[in-house]
Amino acid sequence: MRRNKVKTMIAKLALAAAVISGGLQAASAETANIWVRADGSNFMPRIVDAFNKAHKDQIKLDIIPNAEIIPKYGAAAAGGTAPDALSLDLIYTPSFAAAGQLEDITDWAKSLPYFASLSPAHVKTGTYKDRIYGLPFSADASVLIWNKKLFKQAGLDPEKGPTNWAEIEADAEKVNALGGDIKGFYFSGNCGGCNIFTFTPLIWASGGDILSEDGSKATLDSPQLRGAIDLYRSMVKKGLVPEGAQTDTGSNFFAAFAAGNIGISPSGAFAIGALNTQYPNVDYGITFLPGKDGGWSSFAGGDNFVVTKGTKKIEVVKEFLDFAYSLEGQTILAKYGSLPVRNDIAKEALKDLDPRYQVAAEAMAKGKTPYSVVFNDLINSANGPWTQMINEVFFGDDVDGAIKNAQDTMQSIIDQAPNK
Amino acid sequence: MASIAIAPARARARTSLRQWVGLLYVLPAVALVTVFFVIPLGMTAWMSLHNWPLMGEHSFIGLDNYVAILRDTRFWNALKFTFYYTVVVTIAIFAVAFPLAIFIERPRPLTNLYRTAFFMPAVVGFASASLLWSWLLNVDSGLFSPAAYDLGLTEKKINLLATFQPAFWSIIAMVVWKVAGFTMIILMTGLQSIPQDLQEAAVIDGAGPFARFRMITLPLMRRTLALALILSVAGSILAFDQFYIILRGGPRNQTLTAVYWIFNQSFVSFKLGYGAALSMVLLVILVALSLIQLWLLRKPAGLDD
């Protein structure tokens, strides 16, 4: 009896020792905190889980609503509680870097053997004054999607999407003629972010641009912009676009097409995953956003991975990023809604997935991203000059006045920017 | 002599003790006001003197932010729109709330039901109410436009939020629906505090209903009116939720309010210092307006109530 007690005691002590030593071991491994915007809430937890299972160092992930991640990060940084790193909408990288908020990771980035095959659009926006502050993490490219079932009903070839502007309008008109709730074309007419993503590629593919290469000049006064506007205006005038488009601030950007009664809509690669999982009944095709007379372009969007200046966990962060760039990491990303960001293994990461991803991956590889430290003010703000202009030129009466007004306002915002 | 000198001293000691106890009682309130009002206000004033970005270093720039405000035409336009909205919505609220208050003041069958029904929307938060109306006003999946179209009132579904006039009046309707019940309750308490015998005396003197309303009801409700008016004006000048959620400041930035502009400067353009300066300007304007209203509705000399 007594011996038994001693035995149990010894066993308990041993257990305690094991727990303590185990605890110590765990403490020697580091945990880094990472934030991601809600857009990444599908793939990010999966890749963090996979990393945590395979590594001693751990990642603690916080998912922040899209609209709040910037102010929240700013407040946290001011209070000294910023995460060690975050997955940041790539267009914000220049302004974050300009604010002196980010760790310079140039040397590490350049030491990566696959650095040259990382998404060029991401690396370009991740670079500020020739130093690298952000590296690609997740990717999304804009594409054109069409509804194959409606194309068939309208007597069009369901396997062939439009390849220039005239075809977009003609196809939309045919689908629209089906009548009832069916409409030819959809876009979010009051959403700056949606239209920089899906409307500017039409301009780029035709040889125009809205900002100069370094973001120092607004270049709205171009025949290509005017032409693309005329395409949209004409479709609106012919009634090919639902009434709600005029006031859609982005909430219907994806949902309108997913409902199954829109013929053609500019969208993003994210739609492939979202349609396949949430709307399996919609039969759709994916093609490039064309130029006026053919050719194509795409907005290379997504997130850059940035490191908070002065973090002590930088080694963990690097370990995590390295894992994300592995074939395993890239495959997880692709499977759960992001395009791969390493072009050298993109094909392999996508090989078991929906073949329509290949179109999007190609769009991503040659995609383009405007560069500006005041991108939010110029483009994304619901009250900025870009958003105001697109709404006026698509639906209003004074196209030239609206363009001129936007050109002047954008230029003055660029000129007043604190860190040019 | 000596005893006379001592008595007031004792009294003084008693008074000062009472004052200390009194201070003890108000201390929690003072602490709350200090922590949640005075310190943030001081902080705002301090930030307004800096170039204070959301991220990165801030630097002292004196009154530069205030000088910039003078040239910020979009802020003044937003303020102009805010005043226009305030005037329209306040008139609309009173136009609805006053008749309602008169209607529910006296007990009659189902009064409690009416009171509750009219007051109900006031307990909904502004943000939730805005989301609700955002759906009601949606042209494709909402209520108003599809209903009008299905009833054959309009030839096609009309997008109420696409142009200024229908969008603006939709907001007014939503705010009146939401706020009139609250104003009604305030006005009702004012109506009930008027002694019945005054009305009766006036009836005996031969005053008609309109004269009684103008000469007795309105003057005796001055304080209640002042309260309801100041609440309505202050609330309207600080309007933000409904314009942000339903209209996003649109169509084409025609419904940007002052607070909306402050929000944009602070959290879209990341200029916290400038946003703080704008807030200080708005605070001064609001205090001035409230003083003017109190002065207008002050008690005229010689009137006793």
| Interface confidence (ipTM) of the complex | 0.75
Instruction: Count how many residues are written for chain B.
Output: 305
**Mean pLDDT across the stretch A261-280?**
90
The reported pLDDT for the residue numbered A19 is 47
As a dihedral over the C-alpha atoms of residue A235, residue A239, residue A243, residue A247, rounded to 10 degrees, the angle is 20
B60-69: average pLDDT:
93
Range in A249-253, B33-37, B186-190 the model is least confident about: A249-253
- A278 and A360 together in one domain: no
Q: What are phi and psi of A341, to 5 degrees?
A: -110, -5
CA distance A361 to B281: 51
Closest partner CB to B56 (pick from A75, A101, A392): A101
Structure confidence at residue A11 (pLDDT): 56
Q: Is the pLDDT reported for residue B10 higher than 70?
A: no
- Verify that A35 and A110 share a domain, yes or no: yes
Q: Would you say the C-alpha torsion A170, A174, A180, A184 has a positive or negative sign?
A: negative
With a cut of 70, say whether residue B302 has pLDDT above it.
no
pLDDT at A25 over 50: no
Query: pLDDT band at A241, cuts 50/70/90?
Result: very high
Q: Quick check: A103 pLDDT over 80?
A: yes
Give the helix, strand, coil percentages of chain B, each rounded to 5: 75, 0, 25
CA-nearest of B199, B202, B181 to B191 is B199
Amino acid at position A24, single letter: L
Round to whole Å and give the CA distance between A168 and A241. 13
d(CA A273, CA A43): 11
Q: From A365, A384, A405, give the residue that closes a domain.
A: A365
State the pLDDT confidence band at A3, using cuts at 50, 70 and 90. Answer: low
- Asked if A63 contacts A41 with a C-beta cutoff of 8 angstroms, the reply is yes
pLDDT band at B240 (very low <50, low <70, confident <90, very high): very high
Beta bridge partners of A127: A132
Domain membership flag for residue A24: no
When divided into structural domains, chain A yields a total of 2
A134/A209 same-domain check: no
Which residues of chain A neighbour B249 with C-beta distances below 8 Å? 382-383
d(CA B135, CA B144): 10
Domain presence at residue A16? no
Q: Give phi and psi for B18, each to the nearest 5.
A: -60, -40
Classify strands B59-60 and B50-51 as parallel, antiparallel or unpaired.
Answer: antiparallel
Mean pLDDT on B113-134: 92
> pLDDT-derived band of residue A334, with 50, 70 and 90 as boundaries?
confident
Residue A8 confidence (pLDDT): 58
Query: What pLDDT is recorded for position B8?
Result: 60
- Interface touch A244/B140, C-beta < 8 Å: yes
Torsion on CA atoms A232, A234, A235, A238, rounded to nearest 10: 160
User: What's the whole-number mean pLDDT along residues A223-240?
Assistant: 96
Q: What is the mean pLDDT of residues A39-51?
A: 90
Residues A335 and A262 in one domain: no
Q: Which of B138, B256, B270 is closest, CB to CB, to A383?
A: B256
CA distances B215 to A67, B91, B141, B229, B302, Å, are 54, 21, 50, 20, 16
Classify residue B217 by its DSSP letter: I
Domain co-membership, A190 together with A136: no
Structure confidence at residue B50 as a pLDDT band (50, 70, 90): very high
Angle, CA A42 vertex, CA A354 and CA A136 arms, to 5°: 80
pLDDT value of position B280: 96
Residues A283 and A158 in one domain: yes
Nearest-Cα distance to chain B for A419, in Å, is 11
Residue A213 belongs to a domain:
yes
Contacts 24+ apart (CB under 8 A), A349-358: A354/A272, A354/A276, A356/A272, A356/A285, A356/A286, A357/A269, A357/A272
What is residue A90's DSSP assignment?
G
Give the whole-angstrom CA distance, residue A6 versus residue B5: 85
Highest mean predicted confidence (pLDDT) among A78-82, A355-359, A364-368, B175-179: B175-179
A401 touches chain B (CB under 8 A): no
| A23, two tokens | 């605890």
Residues A37 and A99 in one domain: yes
B148 membership: H or E segment, kind and range: helix B144-150
> Which of the four pLDDT bands, split at 50, 70 and 90, describes residue B301?
low
Q: What percent of chain B stands above pLDDT 70?
A: 94
Interchain pair A376, B264: CB under 8 A: no
Domain hosting A75: range is: 31-140+301-365
Top residue of A96, A380, A381, A383 to mutate, by most chain B CBs within 10 Å, is: A383
Most confident of A60-69, B210-219, B275-284: B275-284
CB crowding A289-298: b at 16 or more within 10 Å, else e: bbbbeeebbb
The two tokens of residue A101 are 């908020």
- Of these ranges, B16-30, B74-88, B110-124, the one predicted with the greatest mean pLDDT is B74-88
pLDDT tier at B2, thresholds 50, 70, 90: very low
Q: Which residue has the tokens 């969007």?
A: A301
Q: Whole-angstrom Cα distance, residue A410 to residue B118?
A: 47
- Are A154 and A133 within one domain? no
Which residue type is seen at A228?
A
User: Which residues, in sequence order, are bridge partners of residue A131?
Assistant: A128
pLDDT of residue B250: 78
Q: Which CATH superfamily is domain B48-296 in?
A: MetI-like (1.10.3720.10)
* Lowest-pLDDT range of A165-169, A225-229, B69-73, B208-212: B208-212
pLDDT exceeds 90 at position A168:
yes
Q: What number is the average pLDDT over the span A364-369?
A: 86
